[in-house]
Structure 1
Amino acid sequence: MRALLVVNPKATTTSGRTRDVLTHALRSDLKMEVAHTEYRGHARDLARQAASEGAVDLVVALGGDGTVNEVVNGLLAHGPSERVPRLAVVPGGSTNVFARALGLPNDPVEATGALLDALEHGRERAIGLGKAMSEGLPDRWFTFTAGLGFDAGVVGRVEEQRRAGRRSTHALYINQALRHYVTEREHRKNGPISLQINGHEAVPGLVMAIASNTSPWTFLGNRPVLPSPAASFDTDLDVFGITRMTAFGTARTVRQILRSHTPANGGKEPLGPSGKHVVSYHDVRHFTLVSQEPAPFQVDGDHLGDRSRVSFTGVRRALRVIV
């Protein structure tokens, strides 16, 4: 099988020696070229070129969720198609939400072994993805989440800290979330975001809104975060929002999204967070978020600046993944 390995040399949990070992292991089973990313967006460019030229059957992303997202957007630059190469992932970031949601080990060496086994036995699956669209800007595919409002503001603060030289750790995210909570006092009471779904009344006053393509949404260490526990690669998108973030209410919601959810009364779908200020929808094909003022926007943990209007759509069986 012809393959391209896209390596992020700045991946936080793999050393140069480890990446060399993984590359050698993959080359034992694949006719593989290796490309190292040199700038933001380079993984997207490499994957887009590979898909356009039709020179490879498989693109392997070795890096964190940002690298994976870029590769996916490159592969799907012209939309889903049977001609699009398959995707494989070797986790190398601090969290690796997408890889773990696929059931891959978080350790890159173990994940490489699982990938080689999947290739040997021909295991793959077609997964659904989300797509975010803003007028005048390129569409952006996402593998597990996109958010507008408070959560994206936290992501933006973390990225500022990383540019200043801080390491990406779970403690850094928690610290910046608490700081953001303190500074966003007015928005926590009167959110600027409105959720619009065809056939439903608009939901105004959202402080934050998160679109999930799978569950968990992210991890704190090994603890999954579950705002939309029924979200799945086999359905369309789930939406979770909060209309008011009081100290007591927020603490209650955080506890809910950090625990397991079991179906009630024999139901098939796991229960998500509930409460007076919680909004949730399951398996939604299309919806739009509109903000009265530009609000922070993130896709797969990547802060993309501020947006006033973002439309979302779920695309089933958008990409084939080696698992």
Structure 2
Amino acid sequence: MRALLVVNPSATTTSARTRDVLVHALASDLKLDVATTEYRGHARDLARRAAESGTTELVVALGGDGTVNEVVNGLLDGGPDPEGLPRLAVVPGGSTNVFARALGLPNDVVEATGALLNALREGSERTVGLGLAAGTPGTEDEGVPPRWFTFCAGFGFDAGVVGRVEQQRERGKRSTHSLYVRQVMRQFLGEPNRRHGTITLERPGEEPLRNLVMSIICNTAPWTYLGNRPVYASPQASFDTALDVLGLTKLTTTTAARHVAQLLTSTPEHGPQGKHAVSLHDLTAFTLHSQVPLPFQMDGDHLGVRTSVTFTGVRRALRVIV
């Protein structure tokens, strides 16, 4: 099997020695080409060329969720075609690795490599559904190109937190859980719309849901991890269905404390709930509009501000080695 290994040299939990061991292990079982990313978006370009080549059967992403997102967008540049596109495999190398862990892969690079080799020898794979976000026709965001996400997107509060974390990392701060906690508090204290939301969710054949302060769109569960603790914003979300949405209509001190507590104690059976929480399951198409520009993120990557985003849940979008 001919494979391409896409390596992010800045992956936070790998070293040059670890990467060399990984390459040697994979090359013993595969006809392996190795490419190291050199700029933002490079992993997408590499995966797109691999998909267009017609000779690459597998693309392995070594890095965090951002690297995986780029590889997925490169593979799906011409649209989903599970039978015709190369398979995807992931070796987690980031600080959180939500997509890989949601697939059931070990969070350790060496263990994950062993699991990948075993899966390849056994021919073990699955087809997963993904989310697609695009600019909304007739709005100022109409020209924003479509982009796939592998596990979540966020519009509003949580995207603002992601943006703050990215700013801190650009200043040399390490991505730690304490860093995220600090930025959550700063975003909360500076959030001007936490009492009266500006977001409206529209879906075909249903009444609009108005006055949302934030919206979390999940492609699978868990939504994220705090160390080894999984956090479930939408417990029913699954790679086998379309998209789930958690929306909050108020973020006062009391309601925010309640929802944070619910998230920290969430399980595969129970997530946030209450009169200010809106949960929707298995949506194939919907649009989020905001009266004011709000921050937007996908797979933990801050993408600036938007006033409108249209989402599509695509079942059976890509084959993944697991």
> Which band: TM-score by shorter chain?
over 0.9
Counterpart of 1:49 in structure 2 is 49
Superposed CA offset, 1:95-144 (max 9, x none): 00000000000001000000000000000000000000112011010000
Instruction: Tell me how far apart the structure 1 counterparts of residues 24 and 277 of structure 2 sit (CA, whole Å).
Output: 49
**Cα–Cα, structure 1 residues 260 and 296, in superposed 2: closer, same or farther, change >3 Å?**
closer
Range that drifts further, 32-41 or 166-175 = 166-175
Distance in 2 between residues matched to 1:256 and 1:174, nearest whole Å: 16
C-alpha deviation, 1:55, in angstroms = 2.3
| Contact 1:144–1:217 (Cα < 8 Å) also in 2 | yes
Question: Which of 144, 159, 168 is equivalent to 2:175?
Answer: 168
Extract unaligned runs of 5+ from structure 1: 263-269
1:277 & 1:242 partners in 2: Cα distance? 6
Give the match's secondary structure for 2:71.
helix
Amino acid in structure 2 at the alignment position of 1:283: D
Alignment of 1:287-302 (within 5 A): 287-302=286-301
Provide Cα deviations, 1:20-61, integer angstroms capped at 9, x if missing partner: 111111111010000000000000000001101112000000
- Aligned partner of 1:226 in structure 2 is 232
Aligned partners of 1:200 and 1:253: how far apart in 2? 26
Alpha carbons 2:7, 2:63 under 8 Å: kept: yes
Name segments (4+ residues, structure 1) moved above 6 Å.
none
> Cα offset for 1:195?
0.9
Work out the CA distance in 2 between the residues paired with 1:247 and 1:198: 34
Indicate conservation of the 8 Å contact 2:195/2:251, yes or no: yes
The one-character-per-residue Cα deviations of 1:183-236 (angstroms, maximum 9, x if unpaired) are 11x311112111112222111111110110000011111111111001000001
Residues 265-310 of structure 1, C-alpha deviation per residue, up to 9 Å, x if partnerless? xxxxx34321111111011111100011111000000000111110
Superposed, which structure 2 residues align to 1:9-48 within 5 Å?
A: 9-48=9-48
After alignment, is 298-307 or 243-252 more displaced?
A: 243-252
Give CA deviations for 1:7-32 in whole Å, capped at 9, x if unaligned. Answer: 00000000111111111111110100
Counterpart among 181, 189, 195 of residue 189 in structure 1: 195
The aligned counterpart of 1:235 is: 241
Contact kept, 8 Å, 1:4 with 1:34, in 2: the verdict is yes
Matches of 1:252 and 1:125, distance apart in 2? 37
Q: Which amino acid aligns with 2:287?
A: T
CA distance in 2, matches of 1:181, 1:35: 41
Q: Percent identity?
A: 69
User: What secondary structure sits across from 1:104 in the alignment?
Assistant: coil
Aligned 8 A contact 1:230 1:271 in 2: no
Q: Report what 1:154 is aligned to.
A: 161
Answer whether contact 1:56 1:85 (CA < 8 A) is retained.
yes
Query: What is the alpha-carbon distance in structure 1 between the residues aligned to residue 164 and residue 106 of structure 2?
Result: 29
Query: Which residue does the alignment assign to 1:102?
Result: 103
SS at match of 1:23: helix
1:168, CA displacement in angstroms? 1.0
Q: Quote the residue 2:314 is aligned against.
A: 315
Q: Partners in 1 of 2:116 and 2:104 — Cα distance?
A: 11
How far apart are the structure 2 equivalents of 1:193 and 1:260?
25
* 2:125 paired with 1:119: no
CA distance in 2 between partners of 1:247 and 1:189 (Å): 10
Give the AA of the match of 1:72: V
How high is the TM-score relative to the length of structure 2? 0.96
CA shift for structure 1 position 261: 3.7
Question: Could you tell me how far apart the structure 2 residues matched to 1:313 and 1:120 are?
Answer: 34
Match for residue 216 of structure 2? 210
Q: Judge which range, 16-25 or 113-122, deviates more.
A: 16-25
| 2: CA distance, partners of 1:183 / 1:211 | 23
SS at match of 1:189: coil
Shift of 1:259: 2.1
The count of corresponding residues between Structure 1 and Structure 2 is 315
Q: Distance in 2 between matches of 1:126 and 1:162?
A: 34
Structure 2: distance between partners of 1:51 and 1:63 = 19
CA distance in 2, matches of 1:320, 1:42: 22
Out of 257, 260, 266, the residue aligned to residue 254 of structure 1 is: 260
**Displacement of 1:260:** 4.0
Aligned partner letter, 1:104: L
Give the RMSD, CA atoms, in angstroms: 0.9
Q: What is the alpha-carbon distance in structure 2 between the residues aligned to residue 30 and residue 232 of structure 1?
A: 31
